[in-house]
Amino acid sequence: MTGLLHERELSRKTFLKGGALVLGFTLGGGLAGRAAAAYQPPLGDYGPDVAELDTWFAVGQDGSVTLYTGVVELGTGSVTGLMQIAAEELDVPFGAMKVVTPDTLRTPDQFVSSGSRAISQHGPPIRQAAAEARQFLVNLAAGKLGVPASQLTVSDGVVSGGGKSISYGELIGGRLFNARITGTAKPKTPDKYRIVGTSVPRVDFPSIAAGTHQYIQNFRLPGMVYGRIIRPPSQGASLVKVNGFKQHVTGVVKVVRKHDWLGVVAESDWEAIVAARALDATWSDWSGLPPEGNLHAVMRTLPLYDAAANPLDLRVGAQYKNPNPNVWQNTGNADAAIAAAPKKLSVTYTTPFLAHGSIGPSAAVAVWQGDRCTVWTSTQTPYGTREAIAKFWGVPNNNVRLISAQGSGTYGQNGSDDAALDATIMARELDRPVRVQWMRWDEHTWENYKSARVYDLSGALDANGKIVAWKSESWGFTNYGRPEYHEPAHGGEPGSLFVAQLAGWTGASVEEGGGPQSAPPFPIPNVWAKHNFLGAPSQRKGALRIKSGSMRNPTGFYDTYANESFIDELAALAGIDALQFRLNHLTSPRAITALQTVAQAAKWDFRPGPNPNRGKGPILRGRGVTVQGNIAEVFEVEVSTKTGKVFVPRVTVAADHGLVVNPNALTSQIEGAVTFGLSNGLYEQVRFDRQKVTSRDWVTYPIMRYKDSPPVIDTVLINRPDQPSTGGGEPPHQPVLAGLANAIFDATGVRMRDLPFTPKKVLAALRSAGY
């Protein structure tokens, strides 16, 4: 139960002599093999044929079933959930399941393991494939047993009927299905579920608890050497000259330079670190960043992204083809309605760049054999990144084999993809595998930050306290900072990787980031909403040299912060309880149920905000509510009038995620999302000076610590087996920032509109309000 690969079975000789490398990651079930050990599924440009049953499943002679999935285990438990879905449809015990996670040579292309898609979008094809496999096996058994398929039942991997039985292992163990997915098999109805809907323990936890789990950061190959990268000292600096080492160094295998990309490879990790530190290089001066305090003012003045000037860049949905000018909603006449309304409000919300902040800095391992390369990486986008690497090196897709290895949590587009390219650049110069490990400051200063945003919101109420008009204008950079491709077109583009840019690549990039993700959660008669898309900056090019990419979700949680804060402000303006105000407007039955459920669970006291009994301190108490999609959250806060510190003693969540596959794993995701969001809201901001990002570590980029974390997070799952599953990683994070701001308002009467809500900012606001 190690999740280990065959490293001990592999000599360096097998590496360098060529042939297909058979190293893959399995989770929890030991080594998993194809039914026929030597079987290599035929490959298209994007992996094995997804219409073949053998692409998805292999049955062992012992009755074990291996699921081959294109979904990456990111630490969310999704792969355990997918194994539950497969076991359920196949009618095998969960313990019979094994899994092979993405390997472009062996697993189906399941697009990206991002966007909360792992269960919601990638579960259904696995469910269908498993139902097909079951149907195939029952038909096979019917022939062998001489009993009509209609009289056969399956239990624990054994087909029985007419007094006879035969196991899956006996039917097909060690052999191929050689069958197409027909689309005719009918998956079970949810009332028959026995495995889906239960809290099966995660398959990767035994090895995590024992300390034997294989992360990319400790993945090792025979003969492997160790790489460190040396990034430019400013966002825009170019490498003028490499001068050699400032001091005596040992173990250096090679200094590798490619345009502005610089790295060093050594025989040991420590020698690589020492050498990278000692390597003296001359870089050009650059200081093109705006003063930090002017960021949001500067964003309003930056040129809008010009799609026509970058025809290859945008490959995503229609709304992004022409992202500017992007008036994404225009209903009724918002200006006239605001002018005529008795009560109105105009405010601005601003948000900072945020770092993903993976605890383990990105790492990757690569080895070349001639013009073929194998890369081990914790990317969320195996096929997109594989294609980008292939394009970068000018080789066919299938010359690059990408194998997914579990890494530290990514929370979106962290440095994993760039580190993968780093590894291929170093390994290209050597006949040995290289593990590249970013240092803490490499991750913090050169990742795809969540884009800062500016929101101008105006709204108006009628005499009954209903919102009659809503105006929204926002500014932001791209949401995508990596070469994933977008369905249906493939097209991983190296230009999305700053490592490729450093290494001289000047081609296109895949970008997205036009419109906001979340509109007001209910219909309003007069709405005008515009987004100003500022394009795709990176450390190497663009209007602002701070690279952005999706974190936790593309724009949704910042959009929801602005929208749900503003709704709360309108509720206060109307003098109506904040939760009741939302009930007065919502039309979605599921959202209403979530809100009513959270009101009950949190023992919500219906009264207008702010808290009339808040007193004068030293601790002010209040509560705030938000609802986004079908998730409602209530935050209780304590605000110190002495320090400005905000503490959240209790959070209550009511969450409707449709069909719940694994309640405990989902609850864990919700707890994590809430804690992560509170960390974003209270502490986090990527700092920079005129040259570079200055948030280099956990002192200069603090995140939530244990003592400051909420001691109680109560979650109520509203299970709806008749509805498709929705994602667990993104949606519960989305409401948090507004819930926090709304609770601070309730506690203090002060509205915080500029994230993060640091003690300094809160204290200043309290002082201005007379505390």
| 386 CB-side CA count, 13 A | 30
Rounded Cα–Cα distance for residues 498 and 259 (Å): 12
| DSSP, residue by residue, 228-288 | EEE--SSTT--EEEEEEESS---SEEEEEEETTEEEEEESSHHHHHHHHHHEEEEE-----
List the structure tokens of 451.
Answer: 């884009």
Shortest Å, Cβ 441 to other proteins: 9
CB of 207 to other proteins, least distance (A): 9
Is 268 near other proteins (CB under 8 A)?
yes
CB under 8 A: which stretch of 47-55, 69-77, 114-122, 738-746 binds other proteins?
A: 69-77
Pick the closer one to other proteins by CB: 267 or 462. 267
- Angle formed at CA 659 by CA 654 and CA 660, multiple of 5 degrees: 65
Amino acid in position 548: S
Q: Which residue has the tokens 């997804």?
A: 50
Compute the distance between CA of residue 275 and CA of residue 265 in angstroms, rounded to an integer: 8
Question: Looking at beta carbons only, is 210 or 336 nearer to other proteins?
Answer: 210
Count of residues of this chain found to bind other proteins when the rule CB under 8 A is applied: 64
Which of residues 24, 63, 70, 77 is near other proteins by CB under 8 A? 77
**Minimum distance from CB of 42 to other proteins (Å)?**
34
Under the criterion CB under 8 A, does residue 215 sit at the interface with other proteins? yes
Q: Which is nearer to other proteins, 340 or 601 (CB)?
A: 601
Taking the least distance from each CB to other proteins, the nearer of 200 and 500 is 200
| CB contact at 8 A, 351 and 452 | yes
Question: Is 11 an interacting residue with respect to other proteins (CB under 8 A)?
Answer: no
Q: Are 230 and 243 in contact (CB under 8 A)?
A: no
Cis amide bond preceding 488, omega within 30: yes
| 381/437 with CB nearer other proteins | 437
Please tell me whether residue 439 binds other proteins under the rule CB under 8 A. Answer: yes
Tell which positions 675-734 bind other proteins, by CB under 8 A. 675-676, 679, 697-699, 703-707, 709-713
CB atoms within 10 A of CB 550: 27
Contact call for residue 665 and other proteins (CB under 8 A): yes
Please, are residues 766 and 663 in contact by the beta-carbon 8 Å criterion?
no
Roughly how many angstroms between the first and final C-alpha of the chain, as a whole number?
58
* Category of 63 on φ-ψ map: left (φ > 0), alpha (ψ -120 to 50) or beta: left
* Nearest to other proteins of 277, 761 (CB atom): 277
* φ, ψ (nearest 5 deg) of residue 375: -125, 130
Provide, rounded to whole angstroms, the least separation between the CB of residue 591 and other proteins.
Answer: 24
Q: Tell me the two tokens of residue 178.
A: 């050689």
Tell which one of 674, 738, 744, 763 touches other proteins (CB under 8 A). Answer: 674
Cβ-based nearer residue to other proteins, 77 or 352: 77
From the list 217-225, 234-242, 310-318, 494-502, the region that binds other proteins by CB under 8 A is 217-225
- Going by C-alpha positions, the residue among 234, 232, 286 that lies closest to residue 262 is 232
Measured from the Cβ of residue 95, the count of other Cβ atoms closer than 10 Å reads 12
Radius of gyration of the chain (CA): 27
What residues numbered 22-51 form the site for other proteins, per CB under 8 A? none
x-marked contacts with other proteins along 116-145 as a string, rule CB under 8 A: ------------------------------
The DSSP element (H or E) to which 443 belongs, if any, is helix 440-445
Q: How far is the CB of 214 from other proteins (least distance, A)?
A: 7
**Pair of tokens at residue 316:** 């995503």
* Cα distance between residue 407 and residue 436, in whole Å: 13
From residue 443, alpha-carbon distances to 236, 641, 666, 710 in Å are 17, 36, 28, 27
Stretch that binds other proteins, among 42-50, 203-211, 541-549, 685-693 (CB under 8 A): 203-211
Tokens of 457: 């919101």
490 is a contact residue toward other proteins (CB under 8 A): no
Pairing of strands 326-331, 363-369: unpaired
Pick one of 187, 190, 197, 201: the residue that binds other proteins (CB under 8 A): 201
**Given candidates 78, 217, 628, 725, which one binds other proteins under the rule CB under 8 A?**
217
Question: Binding segment for other proteins among 151-159, 204-212, 567-575, 624-632 (CB under 8 A)?
Answer: 204-212
In whole angstroms, the minimum distance from the beta carbon of 618 to other proteins comes to 20
* Partners of 241 in beta bridges: 282
If the CB atoms of residues 401 and 733 are measured against other proteins, the closer one turns out to be 733
664 contacts other proteins (rule: CB under 8 A): yes
The answer to whether residue 644 forms part of the interface with other proteins (CB under 8 A) is: no
Burial of 54 (0-12, 13-18, 19+ CB in 10 A): buried
For other proteins, the binding residues in 354-413 under the rule CB under 8 A are: 357-361, 406-409, 411
**Binding residues vs other proteins (CB under 8 A):** 74-77, 199, 201-202, 204-206, 208-215, 217-218, 220, 226, 250, 268-270, 273, 357-361, 406-409, 411, 437, 439-440, 664-665, 668-669, 671-676, 679, 697-699, 703-707, 709-713
